[in-house]
Amino acid sequence: MWDDVLLYVIIGFVAQMIDGAIGMAYGVTATSVLLGLGVPPATASACVHAAETFTTGASGLAHWRFGNVDRKLLLRLAIPGMIGGAIGAYALSELPGEALKPFISAYLLLLGAFIVWKALAARPIEAPTPRAVGPLGLFGGVLDAIGGGGWGLTVTSTLLGQGATPRYAIGSVNLAEFFVTLTISTTFFLTVGLSLWPIIAGLIIGGVIAAPFAALATKHIPDKVLMLLVGCVVVLLSLRTILMELASGP
């Protein structure tokens, strides 16, 4: 499997460029590709979360250095997110994560459409203070652990839906994700262990290389363009999940 490390490096690079630039979709992108390559779902999720511990650290540091992080928002997200991540990872075998996906996807689909609408509408000069950040972080952490991804998709899109400044929402969510992912990975390691280190190593290398480029892109891409990108990605990924669930049937 070490012969395929370059492939995993490419997967990690592409996934981190998407996630670092618009604040979401690393787990969805990387996990989907690994599943397509025949990696078992539980193993794919554990590998992606292990790699994310390093890639989110590099991405968060890059966003911090480029001035994309709101410290108050970071603390309000990270602490409840860590608690939610630990709960979700520990209870993964007990909760119907797959059964929840269609409902969460429907919520995100509507939210994505709302973000696109807000991006095209006139925006206020002063961005409002994000609301209910603690519960959002807690829910995002639980969802990320149970679903193998979804922290950025849920938290970033909700913050943008409330009207938060895209640059600070994306940067703060990326750095908070490091602490959430570290908690989830530690819980997975203590409960189910980790394997397939070539996959983890490749994802880490690709993600770390991509992190500063993605953060730089976030700093310079206009807010309206960022919101449009986020909204469209949320809508497409949510539709994909809903259609896959409908196709699989009861």
87-110 pLDDT tens trace: 887 776 565 555 655 666 676 677
Q: What is the identity of the amino acid at 70? A: D
pLDDT, tens digit (0-9, with 9 covering 90-100), for 135-182:
999 988 887 777 666 787 788 888 888 888 888 888 899 899 899 988
CA dist., res. 148 & res. 138, Å (int): 15
Between the CA of residue 191 and those of 69, 70, 91, 93, 194, what are the distances in Å? 33, 34, 11, 11, 9
Tokens of 176: 């908070």
* Mean of pLDDT values over 217-224: 78
The per-residue pLDDT for 172 is 92
Interior CA angle at 131 toward 129 and 136, to 5°? 130
pTM of the shown model: 0.72
Longest dimension (CA), the chain: 52
CA dist., res. 89 & res. 144, Å (int): 9
The per-residue pLDDT for 249 is 63
Q: Which of 44-58, 111-125, 196-210 has the highest mean pLDDT?
A: 196-210
Check whether 59 has a pLDDT greater than 60: yes
**What's the chain's Rg over C-alpha atoms?**
17
Instruction: Write b or e for each residue in 71-95: b if 16 or more Cβ atoms lie within 10 A of its Cβ, otherwise e.
Output: eebbebbbbbbbbbbbbbbeebeee
- Mean pLDDT estimate for the chain: 79
Check whether 67 has a pLDDT greater than 60: yes
